[in-house]
Amino acid sequence: MNPNILQTPIDYLKGVGPSRATLLRSELGIHTYQDLINLFPNRYLDKTKYYKINELQRNSAEVQIIGKIINIKTVAQKKGKRLVAKFIDDTGEMELVWFRGQKWIKENLKLNTPYVIFGKTKYYNGFNMPHPDMELLTEHEKNLRTVMQPIYPSTEKLSNKGITNRVMSKMMQQLFVETKVRFYDTLSSEILEELKLISKSEAVFNVHFPKNQELLAKAQYRLKFEELFYIQLQLITKKLIRKQKIKGFPFTEVGEHFNTFYKNHLPFELTNAQKRVIKEIRNDIGSSAQMNRLLQGDVGSGKTIVGLMTMLLAIDNGFQACLMAPTAILANQHYMGIQELTKDLDVNVKLLMGSSKVKERRQIHEELENGSLHILIGTHAILEDKVQFKNLGLAIIDEQHRFGVAQRAKLWHKNTYPPHILVMTATPIPRTLAMSLYGDLDISVIDELPPGRKAIKTVHRYDSNRLKVFKFIADEIQKGRQVYVVYPLIQESEVMDYKDLMDGYESIARSFPAPQYQISIVHGKMKPADKDYEMDRFVKGETQIMVATTVIEVGVNVPNASVMIIESAERFGLSQLHQLRGRVGRGAEQSFCILMTSFKLSADSKTRLETMVRTNDGFDIAEVDLKLRGPGDIMGTQQSGVLNLKIADIVRDNDILKTARHYAMKILNDDPSLSAEKNKVLLYTYQQLAKHKNIWNYIS
């Protein structure tokens, strides 16, 4: 088939025309024949089975039955009347009912003639089917119609303008008639044979016009595999190219700073997971390729120590390092922590933020350029053009999902060679998603907590148990502990949320009166200086209770705080609940997280709360979150575009994704440039893909 025919504008398809074409473009993004072919059905009505009346279940399913109408009558009802036909087969009888179009139906129905009916059954003193699809059995047997009826994605506007599912199916049939549907295969014969995949033409035809469940399953598998395979091929190729072409500085020296710290100043014994990750990092930075590694570890798993030891390796090799955090609070906390850990080492550490004074900035710029400043910690301020390093060898980015790709690239240009990059995150990215989004990064995971840390106990309580919860708080404060109480703050309902926060604060102030108790309050409407003052009092232990909105989600470290109470917990997402819970459990004492909710809970809210109570494992939580929200939501807008998939689903098709990744790696390991004769078709498809950016545009 001439591949160019697929680039024909959709206006030229018989039965479409200019006004329909405009709608298809604006509502579904269909510009060409190619786009229409890649509009895959959401679901299918299975018309492969014919039911007998005595097999019907009371489950309002869509079923297909062969039988005859033996009589028709009009029945009066409160408003107007209805038409009722008695329909029988050799096992029983049921009623067919019409509330509209009765005259036409009555004139056209044939008695005692075999019909095939299709529709949803209802049960009321026996089975009935309102407004069935009806077809004479003789016609039904002649028809070329597919037995499994595809249901295409649609919008309200399309339905209102008469572009129904039946019209979409007609267009699709017309398209297949015009193009003769013979597609070049896009996978090598080796893959097709090993995985026993059907051909491209068969797959495309059967996904739109499946003859039965088995052929549909084969078609879907083939197309999903192909989509995921090319994404993996792209990611792994990027990674290989980076390792070959982008040279990094080899850190071959393990010198005095690293060794002194390791032998004399480690605050605790490293866990096996930390040792494993440091080893992986040392392998990366010891070679001449640039490191690009994602370090995942739950809140409190000790990522900072790993980051610091990597920075010390950079200093031992004569390089500078920087650590970039998304908020001033977090940057400040890293600074305090690293200052404390390196106070006995000969290391110069400075903090640079938007609020830094001109005098401090001048000194930082000077020391960076003459090389006497070893470690710079800060916020986005590090990315400013004025900030120039003498020789930046390592950049660590904390909570990377808050920084766009463009911002990461800025760090690259601070040098002749790009520095080694270590991305740290406490937001666990489900393994499936990591394989797709960060397939071009190497991934390390710290999956054990430092010794002496106890797992946080989480419980769910309703508002009616509040007095018991207050009693529990009083007992914990009696033991010398501190407590967080967090309220949701969502842009749309800010006024209401603010009121809830203030009401909550007053109710806590009544139950925990001064001078016996001191309470801090922190919310977005406060001036930064007041916020810092209140935070500081809590950190120093001058206040026992911190009432706050989610400002404290990232980066407050108070080891003495052992209780986290989350109000209206049903309004938070799973990853937010997990992040908030991670604010406690930082000391040696047993910590608790109490999720407070009203009685009215949606099914999703229940799942989220049950998950939080059941597990502390961030990866487990992230998998549930992914199933509830879908990949686009989890990554935020800047990355959701990466996963604009046409037929595969990252969550449900996890197994296909693993197979696709396995084959992509195997092929690129044997033939990195895809120059072998057997991989010619892969190279051609891959090049077309790269040209069109959108993976599906050229897969035909």
What's the pLDDT at 72?
Answer: 93
pLDDT band at 692 (very low <50, low <70, confident <90, very high): low
pLDDT digits (tens, 9 = 90+) for 475-504: 999 999 999 999 887 555 677 777 888 888
Between 667 and 493, residue with greater pLDDT:
667
Asked if residue 551 lies in contact with residue 524, where contact means CB atoms within 8 angstroms, the answer is yes
What's the pLDDT at 640?
Answer: 37
What's the pLDDT at 636?
Answer: 42
Query: What are the residues whose beta carbons fall under 8 Å from the beta carbon of 390, sequence distance 6 or more?
Result: 320, 368, 369, 370, 371
What is the dotted CATH code of the domain comprising 49-146? 2.40.50.140
Between 318 and 292, residue with greater pLDDT:
318
DSSP letter assigned to residue 632: H
For residue 363, the one-letter residue type is: Q
Q: Is the pLDDT score of 605 beyond 80? A: yes
**Which CATH number does the domain 457-615 belong to among 3.10.129.10, 2.40.110.10, 1.10.357.10, 3.40.50.300?**
3.40.50.300
The helix-helix angle for 603-614 and 574-581 (nearest 10°) equals: 30
Neighbours of 573 (CB within 10 A): 15
Asked if residue 194 lies in contact with residue 208, where contact means CB atoms within 8 angstroms, the answer is no
For residue 91, the one-letter residue type is: T
Asked if residue 122 lies in contact with residue 130, where contact means CB atoms within 8 angstroms, the answer is yes
**What pTM was computed for the model?**
0.64
Cα-Cα-Cα-Cα dihedral of 352, 356, 358, 364, to 10°? -20
Of 340, 207, 365, give the one whose Cα is nearest residue 261: 340
What are the tokens at 101? 């179009």
CA–CA distance, 463 with 595 (Å, rounded to integer): 10
DSSP letter assigned to residue 269: P
Q: Three-state SS across 516-550?
A: CCCEEEECCCCCHHHHHHHHHHHHCCCCCEEEECH
pLDDT band at 147 (very low <50, low <70, confident <90, very high): low
Q: Same CATH fold, 457-615 and 49-146?
A: no
Of 22, 357, 77, give the one whose Cα is nearest residue 365: 357
What's the pLDDT at 639?
Answer: 40
pLDDT band at 631 (very low <50, low <70, confident <90, very high): low
Question: What mean pLDDT do residues 157-170 have?
Answer: 85
* Cα-to-chain-centroid distance, residue 160: 33
Question: What mean pLDDT do residues 79-85 have?
Answer: 89
What's the pLDDT at 145?
Answer: 54
pLDDT digits (tens, 9 = 90+) for 398-431: 875 555 555 656 766 666 678 898 988 877 777 6
User: According to the per-residue pLDDT averaged within each range, which of 168-182, 439-453, 461-475, 547-561 is highest?
Assistant: 461-475
Which residue is it, tokens 């990027």? 238
Q: Architecture of 256-446 per CATH?
A: 3-Layer(aba) Sandwich (3.40)
Q: Is the pLDDT score of 432 beyond 70? A: no
What's the pLDDT at 556?
Answer: 64
What's the pLDDT at 407?
Answer: 62
Asked if residue 336 lies in contact with residue 328, where contact means CB atoms within 8 angstroms, the answer is no
Cα-Cα-Cα-Cα dihedral of 39, 40, 43, 48, to 10°? 120
Asked if residue 65 lies in contact with residue 117, where contact means CB atoms within 8 angstroms, the answer is yes
* Cα end-to-end distance, the chain, whole Å: 10
Three-state secondary-structure class, residue 479: coil
Of 430, 423, 406, 407, give the one whose Cα is nearest residue 293: 423
CA–CA distance, 82 with 631 (Å, rounded to integer): 47
What are the tokens at 490? 């969502």
pLDDT digits (tens, 9 = 90+) for 26-57: 999 999 998 999 999 988 887 778 899 998 88
Question: What mean pLDDT do residues 563-583 have?
Answer: 89
Which residue is it, tokens 């270590």? 422
Query: What are the residues whose beta carbons fall under 8 Å from the beta carbon of 82, sequence distance 6 or more?
Result: 74, 75, 97, 98, 99, 102
Of 272, 231, 377, give the one whose Cα is nearest residue 695: 231
pLDDT digits (tens, 9 = 90+) for 217-250: 999 999 999 999 998 898 888 878 777 777 778 8
Domain ranges of the chain: 3-41+152-182, 49-146, 256-446, 457-615
DSSP letter assigned to residue 317: T
Asked if residue 374 lies in contact with residue 318, where contact means CB atoms within 8 angstroms, the answer is no
Question: What mean pLDDT do residues 434-444 have?
Answer: 72
The helix-helix angle for 213-245 and 680-692 (nearest 10°) equals: 80
